[in-house]
Chain A
Amino acid sequence: MTTISASWPTTRQRIRAALSKLWQPYRPVPLLGWLLAALVAVGMEQLVGLPLARTLGMSKIPALFGALVVLDQPALIPSVLLFLILIYILPVGIVARFTAPFTNKIAARLVSYPLVITAVIHLLLLYAVLHIWCDISDYRVLVARMAMIAIILTLSLNVVNGYMGEFSCSHPGFMALGAYVASVFTLVFFVSENQFGEALVPPALGPFLFPLALILGGLVAAVGALLVAIPSFRTRGDYLAIISLAFMFIVKSLFENLEIVGGARGISNQPNYASLPVVFAWTVLAIWIINNFVRSTMGKALNAVRDDELAATAMTVDTRKTKMTAFLFAAFWAGVAGGLFAHVLRYINPDSFGIRKLAEVLAMVYFGGLNSVTGSIVGAVGLTMISEALRPLEIYKWIIIPIMLILIMIFRPTGLIAFTEFNVERLFLPKDKAPEGAEDATA
């Protein structure tokens, strides 16, 4: 009996085989094709989404692919599913599949152009999709921006906790420094009638000088990081974990005691500069620069120092400099993310940058996967979405998410997508006569 049944495929294998058969026609679809298909889908939602949603008995278009509805009004689940199939799955499936020869041709031609042009075309398409998707509701705009800020944060923490293999707890502190500095900068220069007096510069210049505020915030965060890094990297061991933790508490209580920035009440009324395109541009910039860094030999030196410090130094790697650079670099991006965060919410107080924030960012890093840019993006977006989707559960959300993370830690201790390289060039390649490696990247 047992010998016979062993030769039969198990249910799991059968499901996997079925899925791979279903996926077969989509293997030759390049990234360009998927973006085009997504554009069609969000366009359809824009045009016929509302009437369709009304017809199906919903008052409005399901905001996050129906995730909110499922827990709130279970009776609407069939309608949501139908909506998803009609608006997203079918159009994407059809367009992606049948434009594949066409998109592959374009992708093949793009290969001969410089990478910048290819990248810009893809990014413009991606932004168009995002923009149209967000056009449906303000809620989507907020969630999308928070998710992108989470990407910057997660990625920068991954540089320290993943690539460098240390355990830093000070990210909320760096974020706070960036948020406060950027807020004060914009409030002092571009906004009248607040605790800082009249605007020093015509407010019309504000959006153009906003990057300056963010960079300044990032730099101040990096200087703060110097205070953590100098004592921590002098000796090896767990000191970074403890010193960075103390640093986080110090920053938080520092702002609680600074009456000029509102003390425990915080600051509000930041100008609305962190719009969707601005946050998108900064996120792309952060991913691009951080990915450049970790793929360079200088960035890979972090891995060498992590895996065997003695061998690294014997191979001419300056371990202290490497660690310092990476730590300050990560802090800079955390500061930038903080500045964006302050201008998205347009209200911050010291409590926004406490232990809960730390738990959240750490969770995103370890959920997505250590030492992996893709993992950080997945972790940040995934956890933001899950957290929004579980909102109807109220406090039970904070039981479900931790349990989920504990399970991930048990079954994949380094996260979902750990130790991979994010190869941009390969991403844009046509897929019709794809080399084996490229197939793995899409699978």
Chain B
Amino acid sequence: MPLLEVRKMTHYFGGLRAVNNYNLAVEREQVRGLIGPNGAGKTTIFNLITGVYHPTEGNILLEGEDITRLETNQIADRGLGRTFQNLRLWRYLSVLDHVKMARYSKLTYGLAGAFFGTAKRVNEEKATDALAMELLELVGIPHLADQIVTNLPYGAQRRVELARALATEPKVLFLDEPTAGMNPEELIQMMDIIRRVHREIGLAIFLIEHRMKVVMELCEIIQTLNFGEVIAEGTPEEIRNNPLVIEAYLGKEVVL
């Protein structure tokens, strides 16, 4: 049984079919890529799987359990963590608070703890602090813990998003263009971090990426999407040589 399975997912925005008959099977500790031209529906697929929208048809199963109709926060709690293509950070919270926030559903001190500062809360918050610091170290920004996110450079903000997503204890980590807008140096650092995260936590990663270098180097299996449909799926080698993929990216004439 695959860790995460998507069966025959189709989604319409009004009359527009954004995703058609999409299937996916993510195995444990697998790194997968999703590529495709702009507007192919990659982010829509992410949003559908993570519950931002509910698909018109089809099912999503996590470890055999149907999560299609669950709310986003419930899905995140079950183990699908994600980052966003355009950074979505909270303006007035510190880096540490960002990571801690992702532990929201794992906290058990309840309202009594929140109101009266019980010993349980103190201990739990302390443990969460420690965990958050560990994750910040993993992504290489422990020294920025007390900073307000808006003061950080772009690359660091991406890392905050990554650490935050990891704090939800994801079984599958969804990375939406993790290297978008980065310079070559930041790009290499980010790839290293993704490799390190994969190695140390041992989770499955599903990433959308525009830079072929990143996808080809990181992923074991790549799906190519065009107009909401998968046109090719395979190893980086297979994808690189697939004429349909080349056509989707470069147009028919060039292939001829």
Contact = CB atoms under 8 A, between A and B. Distances in A.
A314 B101 contact: no
A377 B24 CA distance: 55
Interface stretch (B5-13, B103-111, B137-145, B245-253): B103-111
Contacts of A303: 90, 92-93
Interface stretch (B115-123, B186-194, B207-215): B115-123
Interface in A308-325: 308, 310-319, 325
A292 B164 CA distance: 23
Contact-residue bracket for chain A: 20 to 34
A419 B121 CA distance: 23
Contact of B90 (A292, A298, A311): A311
A289 B91 CA distance: 25
A297 B73 CA distance: 16
A113 B106 CA distance: 31
B61 interface: no
B219 interface: no
Contacts of B52: 310, 314
A102 B158 CA distance: 49
A78 B52 CA distance: 67
Contacts of B72: 310, 313-314
A126 to B, nearest CB: 20
Interface residues of B, number: 39
Q: Which label, helix, strand, loop or mixed, suits the secondary structure of the A interface? A: helix
B82 A297 contact: no
Nearest to A293: B114
B124 to A, nearest CB: 9
Given A313-B73, A316-B102, A297 B92 contact: no
A301 B105 CA distance: 11
A178 interface: no
A298 B107 contact: yes
A371 interface: yes
A294 to B, nearest CB: 9
Nearest to A322: B104
Interface string B60-92: 000000000001110011000110100011111
Given A296-B125, A300-B97, A307-B91, A315 B102 contact: yes
B42 interface: no
Contact of A289 (B77, B103, B115): B115
Contacts of B84: 310-311, 314
A-B pairs, 6 with minimum CB distance: A316-B105, A311-B88, A313-B72, A307-B90, A315-B102, A296-B114
Interface of B: 50, 52, 71-73, 76-77, 81-82, 84, 88-93, 97, 100-107, 109, 111, 113-117, 121, 125, 128, 164-165, 167-168
Interface of A: 289, 292-293, 296-301, 303-304, 307-308, 310-319, 325, 371, 419
11 contacts: A289-B115, A293-B115, A296-B114, A297-B97, A298-B111, A314-B84, A315-B168, A316-B77, A318-B71, A318-B104, A319-B73
Given A314-B73, A314-B88, A315-B101, 7 more contacts: A296-B121, A301-B101, A303-B93, A313-B72, A314-B72, A314-B81, A315-B168
